[in-house]
Chains A and B, each alone.
Chain A
Amino acid sequence: MSWVTIVWLCAASACVTLAGVHLQIGLKQPRQFYLWFAVMGLSAAAVGGCELAVMRSETAAQIGLAVRWAHVPLFILFVSFLFFVRTYFRAGRSWLAWTILADRAVCLAINFIQSPNLTYSEITGVRRIAFLGETVSVPDGVVSPWARLGQIGSLLLLVFLADAAITVWRRGDRTRAVLVGSSAILYVLIAAGNSALVYAGRWRIPFLISVPFTVIVLAMAYQLGADVLRASELARSLGESERARHESDRRLAVAADATSLGFWVWDARTDDIWMTPRARGLRGFPADERIDLARFLSVVYPDDREALRKCLDAAARHGGTFDLVYRIVRPGDDPRWIQTRGAGEVDADAGSARVRAVSIDVTDRTLSEKEASLRKAEVIHLSRVRMLGELSGSLAHELNRPLATILTNAQAAQRLLEDPAGNAEEIRDILADVVEEDRRAGEVIQRLRRLMRRGEIHVEPLSLTSVVDEAVDLARSDLIARGVTASMESPDALPSVRGDRVQIQQVLLNLFTNACDAMGQVDGARRQLVVRLGHGDNGSVTVSVADRGPGILPTKLGQVFEPFVTTKETGMGLGLTVCQTIIEAHGGRIWADNGPDGGAVLSFTLPVAAPEGVS
């Protein structure tokens, strides 16, 4: 064994081994550069084999043939090297690469046209020289002018690599730039320089293309190895993060399930809605059905459909968040209440618009809220009915008055008609009064019916003076029967308030009843009830009902609105609680105080109606 054999075999086997390793990687991964690298290693080994054949040649014919065939792996080496640099470093000018390939292709063609090969037009003999302590053969003959074409290719490769190195350096990838750059220098110094000198006949040593290439291959292999290592590191950490992601997905799924949340994403461009199983289940969609907006909306309660569509359209068009409650109807099932919160993401550049949303079934909550509000309405209604019961004598009297007047008037008219010289003028007056009184009775019934009405709050702009007047009218007979005189004090220009006439009157009647009860033991002349209207804070109107009874103990002032707190022998102690419920539902406040001359003052505020409602 000689050094030549050892070095060339080592180089070749190193190349083949690395090529094999990277071929394996390249076949598993869809990365081109591994394959190009494998080709590069194999062709470098082949070039080395040819070089060894040249050095071992005995005759001119043998050496000519060896050099000719050396050009084949050399061509492949060029091709693979160029593609490797292009694909791996993503650098190098492609026109330069194609020029080099064209140059080498022409070289290869000439190589097989011209005899014995590209480099020599004629090989005269075999010269034996000493190389690395061994005698090796080198060709002796006329160097072909076409050999320059091969040298141009090598020079272009140098330019190509230098350019690629600069690009990579500029990209900030210094290590790789040094690798590309030093490969270029190595190649130029050893291979190109060697062949140039050999061609010129100045230096009689064998061609040394494979050895520098082997070094390049080794260097590249080192780089690739580092990459593979990094990739496997990455894969491992990816695996971990994947596991972590799965874990968090699972946690999210558990949490979403626990809270009955369903996620969904609407891609407005493709009109496709991706949904989690829960979101599908909520709407009764099968797991594999493709859902578009029309299908999505088809299960929404018809009355709610348009609102949801508008909401989603707006989110998809302008972005922004939304929060909406709507009903969906599944066949053979009661409507479900769904709350959906979501956000639109609009990317005008990418032309994409997505709406991501979370849905939750709030049926139970909504129903219990509705039930609670119904129950509250029921309590208010019942307490009103009860209050009306207490006032019934008074109300009956209120209704009786006009009826009594009508009867008396009618009988007076009958008498007047019996008189032949009847007074038509008087009878006309009587009939006008009958009509007027009948209307009055009708109004009382109307008011009563409103108070007895069961139903939702009907909020409208109200003139408080008229509301108080009506309430005083309703309680009039009761006030008289209890010997209480009622009066109202109001500033001239009082804005309208927003409220439900019946409920406000209920509060007033309740406060009147309390005031009358409080003054039950009071001297007749002191039995005065005053309703004061005034301007409150923050655009509200204040109503106070003041009596001249014994007042409220200061320690009890805070408790009067609590349920079942009462000072009366009869009564549930719910009156003021109901008043508080009503006033707070109106956005107002109610409180108790003692007046300056004794007696309790119950006051409440009501929000002023919108400006157009100013009276």
Chain B
Amino acid sequence: MSTPGETVFVVDDDPAMRKSLSRLLRAAGHEALAFGGPEEFLRLVPADAWGCAILDVSMPGLDGLALQRELASRNSQISVVFLTGHGDIPKTVQAMKSGATDFLAKPVEETSLLLAVHRALDASRATRKARGEVADVERRLRTLTAREREVMELVAAGRLNKQIGRDLGIAESTVKIHRARVLEKMKAGSVAELVRLADQARAGRGRA
């Protein structure tokens, strides 16, 4: 069962195939949307959509792998599950390297399909959650003054208040005040949590 708002996108050039997949997914309680090809999908699905995309590997024009690359370059939160009639190894390897959640061979068993969809939705959800947290941390980071950010980074680096005061040429008591304000602004209950948030923010900056 998917959380409301979660969609399973089916992209296959074979109308009978995408129709039957949509049917099965709906019968299993998913929201399903079908597209005849990658171009149609890219045109109609908003960039910030999330959920699971079941892609046929071999399609005329842009194929499944090309669509996956395109989604990645758009920083999409949609997780990809591949379906193939060929099941050829090079494409599987390439697809998995590019971050596909699953690679299924046609004809696909209901249980494996639904399991793959679940995993993909979970992954999408996780991504979405991670993305949301990063955004939150970054928003909080932006409320810090320059001095507070310096203090935060040194705290995260494991420096003691006395050392930080010396590093920055300020009094230890002033460091303590900054530190308290950073913890408050970053909504961190402990130094350990602050360290994690700082890492997350760095990671978020790295990815963007």
Tell me if B59 counts as interface (CB < 8 A to partner A). Answer: yes
- Would you call A430 and B108 a contact (CB within 8 A)? no
30 residue pairs A–B, Cβ–Cβ below 8 Å:
A400-B106, A401-B14, A401-B85, A402-B16, A404-B107, A405-B20, A406-B20, A407-B107, A407-B108, A408-B20, A408-B21, A408-B108, A408-B113, A409-B23, A411-B24, A411-B110, A412-B20, A412-B23, A412-B26, A415-B27, A415-B28, A415-B110, A430-B20, A433-B19, A440-B16, A480-B58, A480-B59, A483-B63, A485-B60, A485-B61
CB under 8 Å from chain A, chain B span 83-129: 85-86, 88, 106-110, 113
Distance between Cα atoms of A419 and B27 in the complex (Å)? 9
Q: Total interface residues on A, using CB and 8 Å?
A: 29
Tell me if B17 counts as interface (CB < 8 A to partner A). Answer: yes
CB under 8 Å from chain B, chain A span 388-445: 393, 396-397, 400-409, 411-412, 415-416, 419, 426, 430, 433, 436-437, 440
Tell me if A130 counts as interface (CB < 8 A to partner B). Answer: no
Q: Whose C-beta in chain B lies nearest to the C-beta of A481? A: B58
CB under 8 Å from chain A, chain B span 30-48: none
Q: How many A-B residue contacts, CB cutoff 8 Å?
A: 78
* Sample of 18 further A-B pairs with CB below 8 A, known A404-B106, A436-B16: A393-B88, A396-B85, A401-B16, A402-B16, A404-B107, A405-B14, A407-B108, A407-B109, A408-B21, A408-B23, A409-B24, A411-B110, A415-B24, A415-B27, A430-B23, A477-B58, A481-B86, A483-B63
Q: How close is B148's CB to chain A, nearest CB, in angstroms?
A: 53
Distance between Cα atoms of A400 and B109 in the complex (Å)? 13
When A407-B107, A408-B21, A408-B23 are in contact, do A477 and B16 touch as well, CB less than 8 Å?
A: no
Distance between Cα atoms of A500 and B11 in the complex (Å)? 39
Q: How close is A478's CB to chain B, nearest CB, in angstroms?
A: 10
- Would you call A412 and B27 a contact (CB within 8 A)? yes
Residues of A within 8 Å of B16, CB to CB, are 401-402, 405, 433, 436-437, 440
Residues of A within 8 Å of B60, CB to CB, are 480, 485
Listed residue (A402, A405, A481) with the most chain B CB atoms within 10 angstroms of its CB: A405
Q: How close is B176's CB to chain A, nearest CB, in angstroms?
A: 62
Q: Which of A397, A404, A433 contacts B108 (CB 8 A)?
A: A404
Residues of B within 8 Å of A407, CB to CB, are 107-109
CB under 8 Å from chain A, chain B span 44-95: 58-61, 63, 85-86, 88
- Would you call A397 and B85 a contact (CB within 8 A)? yes
Distance between Cα atoms of A427 and B61 in the complex (Å)? 33
Q: Whose C-beta in chain B lies nearest to the C-beta of A426? A: B23
Could you tell me which A residues sit within 8 Å of B by CB distance? 393, 396-397, 400-409, 411-412, 415-416, 419, 426, 430, 433, 436-437, 440, 477, 480-481, 483, 485
Q: Whose C-beta in chain B lies nearest to the C-beta of A408? A: B20
Pick the 5 closest A-B CB pairs, nearest first.
A404-B107, A415-B27, A404-B106, A412-B24, A397-B85
Distance between Cα atoms of A416 and B23 in the complex (Å)? 9
- Would you call B17 and A401 a contact (CB within 8 A)? yes
Q: Which of A400, A436, A477, A481 contacts B107 (CB 8 A)?
A: A400
- Would you call A401 and B106 a contact (CB within 8 A)? yes
Could you tell me which B residues sit within 8 Å of A by CB distance? 14, 16-17, 19-21, 23-24, 26-28, 58-61, 63, 85-86, 88, 106-110, 113
Residues of B within 8 Å of A440, CB to CB, are 16
Q: Whose C-beta in chain B lies nearest to the C-beta of A401? A: B14
Q: Is the interface of B mostly helix, strand, loop or mixed?
A: loop
Distance between Cα atoms of A440 and B108 in the complex (Å)? 18
Residues of A within 8 Å of B26, CB to CB, are 412
Q: Whose C-beta in chain B lies nearest to the C-beta of A429? A: B23
Q: Whose C-beta in chain A lies nearest to the C-beta of B84? A: A397
Residues of A within 8 Å of B113, CB to CB, are 408
Residues of A within 8 Å of B88, CB to CB, are 393
Residues of B within 8 Å of A485, CB to CB, are 60-61
Distance between Cα atoms of A411 and B17 in the complex (Å)? 13
- Would you call B85 and A404 a contact (CB within 8 A)? yes
Distance between Cα atoms of A416 and B26 in the complex (Å)? 10
Q: Whose C-beta in chain B lies nearest to the C-beta of A409? A: B20
Q: Whose C-beta in chain A lies nearest to the C-beta of B25? A: A412
Q: How close is B22's CB to chain A, nearest CB, in angstroms?
A: 9
When A397-B86, A415-B27 are in contact, do A403 and B107 touch as well, CB less than 8 Å?
A: yes
Residues of A within 8 Å of B27, CB to CB, are 412, 415-416, 419
Distance between Cα atoms of A436 and B20 in the complex (Å)? 12
Distance between Cα atoms of A84 and B14 in the complex (Å)? 114
Residues of B within 8 Å of A406, CB to CB, are 20, 107
Q: How close is A379's CB to chain B, nearest CB, in angstroms?
A: 30
- Would you call B59 and A433 a contact (CB within 8 A)? no
